[in-house]
Structure 1
């Protein structure tokens, strides 16, 4: 499933690499600015490759079980992959947003 549209995947990877290089240069030019890059591509790619590692039985369905409908999705409920974003481990540089902001899931 994740092997299709390889040209689009390559474009995303190339774009993200150029973006990171640009951010590195901007950080040098503006040393007092806080610029954070979140690698969402890696998060979603891992989710699609290993859905059961995130508690998913079916890849395209949301893990929270509260949304209903075909994809069981509710934007107001934090679950599964959102924790990887909030802990900052996929940010560049690492940035623990969950320790700096008072974030709580709705359900």
Structure 2
């Protein structure tokens, strides 16, 4: 019985350390560069889409495994939303331009 407690504690500690190791230590610092939808080509928009998706996924992973003060959580979530909104705005501009060129 005396051996069971240290073993159980050791297993719990190892599990907690592994979960923390998988948790990103910082919020992604560098926001992706979003091209101007009025001038960008398809390759630039697809590259930006991949960068934005990765940035948001990394940010979501950071927020998911942190117990943050609600104000800090909301501020960081707002940064992610702003990046997504900026990309979507440029994507709309790009798609509108593509439709004009195609004559639709």
For the aligned pair, the TM-score class normalised by the smaller chain equals 0.3 to 0.5
Per the normalisation by structure 1, the TM-score is 0.34
Larger RCO: 1 or 2 (CA < 8 Å, sep 6+) = 2
More helix by share: 2
